[in-house]
Amino acid sequence: MLLAAYGAQQWWPADSPFEMMIGAILTQNTSWKNVEQAILNLKEKQMLDATTIANSNIEQLAETIRPSGYYRQKAERLQLFSRFYIQQGNSTGLKKQPCKALRKLLLNLHGIGSETADSMLLYGLDKPMFVVDAYTKRIFSRIGLFDKALNYDAVQHYFHQHLINELSLFQEFHALIVEHAKRFCKTRPLCKGCPLGGVCLSHHQSRLD
């Protein structure tokens, strides 16, 4: 069992829900190492709060988050999200809303897709959403749980039906999958040559409970 092997992950490191959600945008198709530097830059310039980002000069904001890559579009996405965040009454206001409605609101924002929205819901707003990433798809389709061609919503639906609907479980599950994949193929976790997306068969006695 992965949980027994690796233990609790306390996975998404952030000092606040807002910081977590900013990180979710910054880490789109980008290594977390680069995102850490971008967040550090924001903190050093005292820019890591919704009002400051919403009102900041877009080019200065872009320059600040440069290490995270795609910095121009991400600067715009951060501002759009920050305005939404304020308008919705910060994390307190957001958490009051039902999960499903909240997900739609997030998906309507330019620059926030399924995975970013679900990460925000799960790790920032305490909603039990299963986050589907590339690792999850490759590993579990290879094991034979579902077809690899299934789209995001279909894969998520599968896990929602087969897992207990509990916040801590979903939080752990996604974290463990990512850490597991990294561990057995440090250099190229998703390389196409790896039959299991970077994870060897012998390490997959683990099953869904």
Partner DNA sequence: ACCCAGGGTCATA
Partner DNA sequence: TATGACCATGGG
Q: Does residue 88 belong to the site contacting DNA (CB under 7 A)? A: no
CB contact at 8 A, 25 and 109: no
Q: Of the two residues 28 and 54, which places its CB atom closer to DNA in the complex?
A: 28
Q: Which residues have CB under 8 Å from 136's CB, separation 6+?
A: 155, 174, 177
The C-alpha atoms of residue 33 and residue 154 are separated, in whole angstroms, by: 30
CB of 154: closest distance to DNA in angstroms?
Answer: 10
- Region near DNA per CB under 7 A, out of 45-53, 97-105, 160-168, 190-198: 190-198
Q: Which of 111, 146, 157, 206 binds DNA (CB under 7 A)?
A: 111
Q: Does residue 81 belong to the site contacting DNA (CB under 7 A)? A: no
Q: Does residue 191 belong to the site contacting DNA (CB under 7 A)? A: yes
- Smallest CA-to-CA distance from 39 within 51, 29, 54, 53 is with 53
Q: Of the two residues 51 and 107, which places its CB atom closer to DNA in the complex?
A: 107
Q: Which of 4, 10, 29, 209 binds DNA (CB under 7 A)?
A: 29
The C-alpha atoms of residue 170 and residue 153 are separated, in whole angstroms, by: 16
CB of 190: closest distance to DNA in angstroms?
Answer: 3
Q: Does residue 141 belong to the site contacting DNA (CB under 7 A)? A: no
Q: Which of 7, 89, 93, 113 binds DNA (CB under 7 A)?
A: 113
Q: Does residue 170 belong to the site contacting DNA (CB under 7 A)? A: no
The C-alpha atoms of residue 137 and residue 141 are separated, in whole angstroms, by: 6
Residue type for position 164: I
- With 0-12 CB in 10 A as exposed, 13-18 as middle and 19+ as buried, what is 22? buried
CB contact at 8 A, 138 and 197: yes
Q: Does residue 72 belong to the site contacting DNA (CB under 7 A)? A: yes
The C-alpha atoms of residue 69 and residue 62 are separated, in whole angstroms, by: 10
CB of 123: closest distance to DNA in angstroms?
Answer: 6
Extended strands (E) in the chain: none
Q: Which of 11, 84, 146, 158 binds DNA (CB under 7 A)?
A: 11
Per CB under 7 A, residues contacting DNA are: 11-13, 23-24, 27-34, 37, 66-74, 109-117, 119, 123, 133-134, 151, 178, 182, 186-192
